[in-house]
């Protein structure tokens, strides 16, 4: 090994100050006396400095909340302002409160179980209602899991019921049915064909309203798997995805929405294309714009017709000086692939 | 809790009391998340990694013997999680796809970051993406987390010599990819060409 190559191999160690004093001295002396190694050393230092351009990213607050929840720890209590008097539990009341809670549960359970009315869910602020009165009445009691066919569910979801703990099940791939289970005031499972309007609306609602990012992402994945099949093509699903792309606060979810839109069958392609163009025009995150322009470039490459508005947007993006360079290159590529 | 050392906090956890979990999380979550995010190039996966690392820290607290730094032990768990993630075939394909797309908005749109800084950031991300996972792991721990080669060897489960080789090869690749020949101006001049080539290909 020549002295230069030995010195070159020591340069990363020199940068991280991992060389012992004697070797550091020898290496520096060689660098000062050798033009090639001096240039090499400057390049190392510059590369090391350029790497500092990668900023630290803040951890989203939800990660800590989720971790503490999984660890069985309550979120950290904040210190009360000095002008707030803390309320201390009185031990004697604890037993009275527990007795009252038991009485309420027993009485409430009996009352609810005794009614035998048609199925409905009434959360505090909204209603997820069944479609008609002729459905099979299901006895209800507290903490019961209820199973319902999608056609028994009103296709209109009123208000904003708080749906959580969503899970998707396809127990039998051959039976053309899927199932969605979730919690409203109790645990529900809705079975139905992906073509059922009620199922479409329920999934659309979940896409747009689920508060947590991971279930939204999972719903997108489920929708991608199910509705990429041409037999289930539904413009309402395309519209719901377009809304996610337009409104979701998490760029990862918006990116996944682009991915899902691009897999939809051509029969609902118009809604998908409009949403992609809108994202390319106005999404604040370049990563989402990149995804959108890549999708449009692929469409152009595959010979799909792009309308004049889309072509205008691509032209505008290709020549927009302050746009991300990759978006500009991809927009130009899409334009060059458009068939006359 | 704030005045207690890492070792003291872990002793409490080892005794079955999880109350220091929040304090340990506050001390290390930023470093863990940033390492995972830069390693995996995927914000969602980095969130999952961060959560899993701290859950594992609690579950396997007794495996921490106090002879290494807590940070080194946590980075070992993180690196293992990230390697497993990359090993899964579907995640691998997603990884290459996500190189350019999972940039967190907070850093990207911070008003005090200039366009030039953002472009440099993109270039560094792309350059890091060209490294092998082993090289990327070594350079991230060395450059951004300030771990010594001995600590990196412990995290990566290899010899110190192997770490030196990985860092050297990583730096050689980065030097070429970032094209720093005569200073930062040269590097910036070649960047649009790189991007155009990438787009054309």
Distance CA A128, CA A157 (A): 6
Distance CA A251, CA A273 (A): 19
Angstroms from B200 CA to nearest CA on chain A:
8
Q: Is the Cβ pair B171, A11 closer than 8 Å?
A: yes
The pLDDT assigned to A142 comes to 39
CA-nearest of A331, A326, A272 to A297 is: A331
Q: Which residues of chain A are within 8 Å of residue B122 when distances are taken between CB atoms?
A: 324
The pLDDT assigned to B75 comes to 95
Distance CA B102, CA A286 (A): 10
Q: Which residues of chain B are within 8 Å of residue A254 when distances are taken between CB atoms?
A: none
Q: Which residues of chain A are within 8 Å of residue B41 when distances are taken between CB atoms?
A: none
Query: Is residue B2 pLDDT above 60, yes or no?
Result: yes
Residue A192 sits at φ, ψ, to 5 deg, of 180, 170
B108, closest residue in chain A (CA to CA): A285
Cβ-contact B149, B160 below 8 angstroms: yes
Distance CA A15, CA A7 (A): 12
Which pair of structure tokens corresponds to residue A89? 């539990």
Mean pLDDT of B132-145: 93
The contacts of residue A267 (CB under 8 Å, 6+ apart) are A230, A233
* Of A268-277, B30-39, B119-128, highest mean pLDDT: B30-39
Which residues in chain A come in under a pLDDT of 70? 1, 74-97, 106-148, 150-166, 169-173, 182-188, 209-215, 269, 339-340
Angstroms from A16 CA to nearest CA on chain B:
8
pLDDT tens digit string along A63-99?
999 899 888 886 555 454 555 554 444 555 566 667 7
Q: Which of B17, B19, B25, B46 to mutate to test the interface with A (most CBs of A within 10 A)?
A: B25
Cβ-contact A270, A230 below 8 angstroms: no
Cβ-contact B5, B13 below 8 angstroms: no
The pLDDT assigned to B47 comes to 93
Query: Is residue B56 pLDDT above 50, yes or no?
Result: yes
Distance CA A318, CA A312 (A): 10
Q: Is the Cβ pair A290, B100 closer than 8 Å?
A: yes
- A54 vs B105, B125, B180: nearest CB: B125
Q: Is the Cβ pair A53, B43 closer than 8 Å?
A: no
Q: Which of A6, A23, A40, A55 to mutate to test the interface with B (most CBs of B within 10 A)?
A: A55
CA distances in angstroms from A221 to A259, A261, A280, B13, listed in the order given: 9, 11, 22, 38
B30, closest residue in chain A (CA to CA): A59
Distance CA B42, CA B97 (A): 10
CA distances in angstroms from A139 to A110, A112, A128, listed in the order given: 11, 9, 17
Q: Is the Cβ pair B51, A63 closer than 8 Å?
A: yes
Query: Is residue B161 pLDDT above 80, yes or no?
Result: yes
Distance CA B138, CA B173 (A): 13
The pLDDT assigned to A157 comes to 56
Strands A164-169 and A120-121, how do they pair?
unpaired
Q: Is the Cβ pair A330, B199 closer than 8 Å?
A: yes
- Residue B100 pLDDT level (bands cut at 50, 70, 90): very low
Which pair of structure tokens corresponds to residue B56? 């594992």
Strands A146-149 and A187-192, how do they pair?
parallel
Interior CA angle at A260 toward A239 and A202, to 5°?
A: 50
Distance CA A231, CA B60 (A): 49
Query: Is residue B107 pLDDT above 60, yes or no?
Result: no
The pLDDT assigned to B194 comes to 39
Mean pLDDT of B125-143: 93
Share above pLDDT 90 across residues of chain B, in percent, rounded to a whole number = 54
Cβ-contact A288, A248 below 8 angstroms: no
Q: Is the Cβ pair A55, B167 closer than 8 Å?
A: no
- B100 vs A44, A49, A326: nearest CB: A326
Interior CA angle at B100 toward B108 and A250, to 5°?
A: 55
- B195 vs A16, A46, A325: nearest CB: A325
Distance CA A117, CA A139 (A): 7
Q: Is the Cβ pair A55, B121 closer than 8 Å?
A: yes
Residue bearing tokens 């060059």:
A336
> Average pLDDT, whole number, for chain B?
80
CA distances in angstroms from A125 to A14, A165, A185, listed in the order given: 64, 18, 11
Distance CA B9, CA B114 (A): 41
The pLDDT assigned to B162 comes to 94
Distance CA B130, CA B174 (A): 8
Distance CA A15, CA A32 (A): 16
The pLDDT assigned to A19 comes to 83
Query: Is residue B196 pLDDT above 70, yes or no?
Result: no
The contacts of residue B84 (CB under 8 Å, 6+ apart) are none
> How many Cβ atoms from other residues are within 10 Å of residue A28's Cβ?
14
Q: Which residues of chain B are within 8 Å of residue A330 when distances are taken between CB atoms?
A: 199
pLDDT tens digit string along B59-97?
999 999 878 899 999 999 999 999 999 887 555 545 444
Q: Is the Cβ pair B195, A329 closer than 8 Å?
A: yes
The pLDDT assigned to A338 comes to 75
What's the pTM? 0.48
Concatenating the DSSP letter of every residue in B51-117 gives: HHHHHHHHHTGGG--SSS-HHHHHHHHHHHHHHHHHHSHHHHHHHHHGGGT---HHHHT-TTS-HHH
The pLDDT assigned to A340 comes to 61
CA-nearest of A145, A149, A141, A193 to A165 is: A145
Q: Is the Cβ pair B54, A71 closer than 8 Å?
A: yes
CA distances in angstroms from B169 to A161, B133, B141, B165, listed in the order given: 55, 12, 15, 6
Distance CA A246, CA A259 (A): 14
């Amino acid at each position: 090994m020549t002295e230069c190559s030995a010195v070159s191999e020591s340069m990363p160690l020199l940068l991280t100050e991992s060389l012992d004093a004697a070797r550091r001295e020898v290496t520096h002396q060689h660098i000062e006396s050798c033009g090639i190694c001096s240039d090499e050393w400057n390049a190392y230092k510059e590369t090391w400095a350029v790497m500092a351009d990668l900023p630290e990213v803040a951890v989203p607050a939800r990660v800590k909340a989720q971790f503490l929840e999984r660890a069985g720890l309550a979120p950290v209590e904040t210190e009360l302002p000095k002008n707030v008097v803390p309320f201390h539990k009185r031990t004697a009341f604890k037993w009275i409160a527990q007795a009252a809670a038991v009485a309420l549960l027993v009485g409430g359970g009996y009352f609810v179980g005794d009614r035998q009315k048609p199925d409905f869910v009434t959360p505090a602020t909204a209603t997820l209602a069944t479609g008609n009165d002729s459905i099979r009445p299901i006895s209800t009691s507290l903490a019961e899991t209820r199973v319902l066919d999608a056609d028994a569910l009103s296709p209109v979801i009123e208000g904003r019921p708080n749906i959580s703990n969503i899970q998707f099940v396809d127990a039998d791939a051959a039976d053309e049915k899927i199932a969605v289970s979730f919690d409203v005031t109790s645990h529900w499972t809705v079975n139905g064909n992906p073509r059922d309007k009620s199922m479409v609306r329920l999934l659309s609602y979940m896409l747009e309203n689920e508060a947590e990012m991971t279930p939204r992402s999972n719903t997108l994945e489920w929708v991608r798997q199910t509705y990429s099949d041409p037999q289930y093509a539904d413009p309402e699903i395309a519209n719901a995805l377009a809304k996610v792309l337009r409104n979701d606060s998490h760029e990862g979810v918006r990116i996944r929405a682009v991915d899902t839109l691009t897999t939809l069958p051509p029969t609902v392609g118009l809604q998908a294309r409009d949403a992609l163009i809108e994202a390319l025009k106005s999404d604040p995150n370049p990563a989402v714009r990149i995804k959108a322009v890549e999708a449009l470039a692929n469409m152009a490459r595959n010979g799909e017709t792009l309308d004049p508005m889309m072509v205008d947007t691509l032209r505008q993006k290709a020549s927009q000086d302050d746009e991300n360079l990759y978006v500009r290159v991809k927009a130009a590529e899409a334009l060059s692939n458009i068939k006359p | 809790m704030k005045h207690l050392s890492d070792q003291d906090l872990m002793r409490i956890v080892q005794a079955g009391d999880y109350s220091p979990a929040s304090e340990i999380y506050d001390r290390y979550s930023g470093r863990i998340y940033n390492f995972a995010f830069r390693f995996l190039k995927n914000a969602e996966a980095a969130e999952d990694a961060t959560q899993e690392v701290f859950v594992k820290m609690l579950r396997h607290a007794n495996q921490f013997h106090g002879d290494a730094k807590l940070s080194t032990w946590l980075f070992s768990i993180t690196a293992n999680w990230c390697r497993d993630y990359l090993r899964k075939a579907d995640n691998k394909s997603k990884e290459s796809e996500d190189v350019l797309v999972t940039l967190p908005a907070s850093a990207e749109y911070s008003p005090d970051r200039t366009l030039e800084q953002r472009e440099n950031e993109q270039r560094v991300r792309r350059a890091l993406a060209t490294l092998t996972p082993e090289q990327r792991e070594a350079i991230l721990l060395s450059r951004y987390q300030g771990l010594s080669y001995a600590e990196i060897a412990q995290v990566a489960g290899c010899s110190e010599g192997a770490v030196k080789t990985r860092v050297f090869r990583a730096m050689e690749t980065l030097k070429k990819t970032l094209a720093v020949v005569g200073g930062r101006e040269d590097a910036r001049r070649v960047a649009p060409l790189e991007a155009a080539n990438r787009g054309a290909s």
